[in-house]
Amino acid sequence: MPIDDFMNEMTQVTDTAAQNAANYDNAAAPQRAVPALPDAQTVTQVTHWTDKLFSFRITRPASMRFRSGEFVMIGLMGDPHPDTGKQKPLLRAYSIASPSWDDELEFYSIKVQDGPLTSKLQHIQPGDEVILRPKPVGTLVHDALLPGKRLWLFATGTGFAPFASLLRDPQTFEDYDEVIVTHTCRTVGELTYGAQLIEDIRSNEMLEELIGDGFATKLRYYPTTTREESPKMGRITALMRSGEVFDDLGVPPLSPENDRAMICGNMAFNLELKDLLEEYGLHEGANSAPREYVVEKAFLD
Ligand code: A2P
């Protein structure tokens, strides 16, 4: 099935999912005068996308600056120590999913039933507080890439989060002629957050005004699933090796002259794709030495 037809189908899937998500959305956040936690921020919105995935928005400290694609440490207070009763913050690295111009911060998370943090974090409600260490860092930033023609954003699962930030940043479309986002998940439901976001970006009037008419045609979306039937099945790495992704999108295989890439997913995926990009002749860049691709350094799952 052509990708455009797939997108139409995905839109129908996501319309229903967005409706479900909206039903889950909670009421407006009550105001709290005194923060009870160190570095406390207030939850403003929570959306449950599947039984394993949710996103949430929190207030943003007025002084906090970051580059789209960076991550921060966020969390909650841990359980009291059985002997001393003392509580320590339980923090994990989370990519910021919102763009740097947004007044609030957005995050996209898995729910692990016995996970120390996400078993609790999944129950947050608007008005609750979370801890945010406001020191953003990261490698998935434009500064770590040399200028190029085409930007590839390769994600699996919640690895889509930093791209949700970068895709809402005008610079992403100013710097490249074409931006290709691939997202591989086990099931169709796990694609919903990303698919919905792509739809929103395509009709985002502010981006259109900033970047110009037709900016949305620069954005190509290539979702695939591995464990549930969908129009495009298979790991992106396999689809690259077979050449199928290039045929589907009508673009040549990656080259160090034209292509730039960012990788964010589970550890095995990050490593495998890194090797593959090296085979195409691309080299890993860093803030201090920009090259042709970058990999997320925060471990996501
Ligand atoms: P698969 O179902 O074949 O393992 P997970 O939920 O385990 O983090 O995986 C998210 C997605 O990433 C799944 O679709 C999974 O495919 C895929 N994936 C896992 N490891 C790799 C890898 N080394 N290369 C490409 N895709 C991978």
Instruction: Give the pLDDT means over successive 10-residue stretches in the chain (301 positions).
Output: 42 40 42 64 98 98 95 93 91 96 96 94 97 95 97 97 96 95 98 97 87 86 98 98 98 98 96 97 96 82 40
- Best substitution site from 160, 266, 299 to test ligand 1's pocket, by max atoms within 8 Å of Cβ? 266
Give the CA radius of gyration of the chain: 19
Distance in Å, CA 186 to ligand 1 centroid = 7
Do 144 and 288 sit in the same domain of this protein?
yes
Do 100 and 20 sit in the same domain of this protein?
yes
Find how far residue 45's CA is from the centre of its chain. 17
Alpha helix (H) residue ranges in 76-157: 118-121
Look up the domain containing 232 and give its range. Answer: 139-295
Q: Which residue shows structure tokens 């689809």? A: 239
Number of domains within the chain: 2
pLDDT of the residue at 12: 42
Going by CA atoms, what residue is nearest to atom 12 of ligand 1?
156
d(CA 290, CA 146): 5
Do 121 and 225 sit in the same domain of this protein?
no
Distance in Å, CA 110 to ligand 1 centroid = 15
Distance in Å, CA 46 to ligand 1 centroid = 26
- Best substitution site from 235, 245, 272 to test ligand 1's pocket, by max atoms within 8 Å of Cβ? 235
Do 44 and 108 sit in the same domain of this protein?
yes
DSSP lists the bridge partners of residue 75 as 91, 131
Do 108 and 145 sit in the same domain of this protein?
no
Q: Which tokens belong to 285?
A: 């860049």
Distance in Å, CA 185 to ligand 1 centroid = 7
DSSP lists the bridge partners of residue 131 as 40, 75
Distant-in-sequence, close-in-space partners of 87: CB < 8 Å, separation ≥ 6: 77, 78, 79, 80, 81
Domain boundary among 103, 136, 169: 136
Find, among 92, 76, 90, 72, the residue nearest to 134 by Cα: 72
Q: Which residue shows structure tokens 């997320």? A: 296
Atom of ligand 1 nearest to the CA of 237: 25
What is residue 289's DSSP assignment? B
Distance in Å, CA 226 to ligand 1 centroid = 7
pTM to 2 decimal places: 0.88
Going by CA atoms, what residue is nearest to atom 19 of ligand 1?
269
Decide if 3 is inside a domain. Answer: no
Do 176 and 251 sit in the same domain of this protein?
yes
pLDDT of the residue at 23: 40
Distance in Å, CA 244 to ligand 1 centroid = 18
Distant-in-sequence, close-in-space partners of 71: CB < 8 Å, separation ≥ 6: 93, 94, 95, 96, 136, 137, 138, 162, 296, 298
Do 144 and 236 sit in the same domain of this protein?
yes
DSSP lists the bridge partners of residue 280 as none
Ligand 1 neighbours, Cβ below 6 Å, are: 156-157, 184-186, 226-227, 235, 237, 265-266, 268-269, 272, 301
Q: Which tokens belong to 44?
A: 């403003």
Decide if 4 is inside a domain. Answer: no
DSSP lists the bridge partners of residue 55 as 47, 108
Longest dimension (CA), the chain: 63
Do 102 and 216 sit in the same domain of this protein?
no
pLDDT of the residue at 20: 41
Question: Whats the size of the chain, residue-wise?
Answer: 301
Distance in Å, CA 93 to ligand 1 centroid = 20
What is residue 193's DSSP assignment? H
